[in-house]
Amino acid sequence: MFPTLVSRAATALLLGGNLVAAIELNIDDATSIKNAAATIAYDMMTYYQGNQSGGIPGVLPGPPPNPPNGYYWWESGAMWGSLIDYWHFTGDASYNDVIEAGIQWQVGEHDDMMPSNWSASMGNDDQGFWGMTAMSAAETNFQNPASNQPSWLSLAQAVFNTQAARLEIETLCGGGLRWQVYQYLTGYDYKNTIANGCFFNLGARLARYTDNATYASFAEETWNWVTNIGLMDAQYNIYDGAHVETNCTDINKIQFSYNMGVWTLGAATMWNYTNGSAIWEQRVNGLLNATFNVFFPDDIAYEVACESKLTCTTDMYSFKAYLTRWLAQTTFLAPWTRDIIMPKLRASAIAAAEQCSGGTNGRTCGLSWSKGTVWDGTQGVGQQMAAMAVIFTNLIPLADIGPPLTNATGGTSAGNPDAGSQSVANPAAIKPATEADRVGAGILTTLMLVGATGMFGWMSL
List of residues contacting ligand NAG (CB under 6 A): 45, 51-52, 56, 95, 98, 105-106, 115, 117, 161, 173-174, 210, 212, 214, 228-229, 235, 247, 272-276, 286, 289, 293, 332-333, 335, 403, 407, 415, 417
Q: To the nearest whole angstrom, how small is the minimum distance from the Cβ of residue 55 to ligand NAG?
A: 9
Q: How many Cβ atoms sit within 10 Å of the Cβ of residue 13?
A: 10
Query: Would you say 130 and 461 are in contact if contact means Cβ atoms under 8 Å apart?
Result: no
Q: Give least dist CB 24 to ligand NAG, A.
A: 22
Residue closer to ligand NAG, measured from CB, 368 or 382: 382
3-state SS assignment for residue 212: coil
Nearer to ligand NAG, 105 or 456 (CB): 105
Smallest distance, ligand NAG to C-beta of residue 455, A = 28
Of 22 and 323, which has the nearer Cβ to ligand NAG?
323
Nearer Cβ to ligand NAG (34/208)? 208
Instruction: Report the chain's C-alpha Rg in angstroms.
Output: 22
d(CA 339, CA 52): 43
- Closest contact distance (angstroms) between CB of 274 and ligand NAG is 5
DSSP string, 339-353: HHHHHHHHHHHHHHH
Helical spans, DSSP H, in 94-212: 96-105, 124-139, 152-168, 193-210
Strands (E), 213-319: 241-243
Query: Pick from 265, 269, 211, 275: which is nearest to 409 by CA?
Result: 211
Is residue 387 within a helix (H) or strand (E), and if so which, with residue range? helix 381-392
The type of residue at 391 is I
Nearest approach, Cβ of residue 228 and ligand NAG (Å)? 6
Q: How far is the CB of 439 from ligand NAG (least distance, A)?
A: 16
Yes or no: say if 199 and 222 are a contact pair by the CB < 8 Å rule: yes
Rounded distance, CA 67 to CA 83, Å? 24
Nearer to ligand NAG, 165 or 444 (CB): 165
Pseudo-torsion of CA 135, 139, 141, 147, nearest 10°?
40
Least distance from ligand NAG to the Cβ atom of residue 290, Å: 6
**For residues 174 and 440, which CB has a smaller minimum distance to ligand NAG in the complex?**
174
Measured from each CB, the residue nearest to ligand NAG is 174
Cβ closer to ligand NAG: 335 or 457? Answer: 335
Question: If phi over 0 gives left and psi between -120 and 50 gives alpha, with beta otherwise, what is residue 174?
Answer: left
